[in-house]
Structure 1
Amino acid sequence: MSSINAKTYESISPVSVAFLGLGVMGYPMAGHLAQAGHRVTVYNRTAAKSEAWLAEFNASGAKHTHALTPRAAAAQADVVFCCVGNDDDLRSVTLGADGAFAGMQPGAVFVDHTTASASIARELAAAAKLAGIEFVDAPVSGGQAGAQNGMLTVMCGGDAAAFAKAQPVGMAFSRAFTLLGESGAGQLAKMVNQICIAGLVQGLSEAIAFGQNAGLDMNQVLDVIGKGAAQSWQLDNRGKTMVADKFDFGFAVDWMRKDLGLVLDEAKRNGARLPVTALVDQFYADVQHMGGRRWDTSSLIKRLK
Structure 2
Amino acid sequence: MPEGHSVHRIARQFDRNFVGRTVSASSPQGRFAEGAALLSGREATAARAVGKQMFLAFEDDLWLRVHLGLYGAWDFAGEILVDPTIASANGRMGQTNQRGTDLAPILDDAGENSLSSIGAPRRTRVHVRMSEQTQGLGEDGDEWPPPVVGQVRLRLLTETTCADLRGPTACVLQTPDEVAATIAKLGPDPLVDDPAEGEERFTAVVRRKPTSIALLLMDQSVVGGIGNVYRAELLFRARLNPHTPGREVPEEIVRQIWRDWVRLLAIGVETGQMMTMDDLDPAAYRLAMANRDDRHWVYRRAGLPCRVCGTAIVLEELAARKLYWCPRCQA
TM over 0.5: no
Return the TM-score normalized by structure 2. Answer: 0.28
Q: Which structure has more strand as a fraction of its residues?
A: 2
Q: Of the two structures, which has the highest relative contact order with CA contacts closer than 8 Å and spacing of 6 or more?
A: 2
Q: Which structure has more helix as a fraction of its residues?
A: 1
Return the TM-score normalized by structure 1. Answer: 0.29
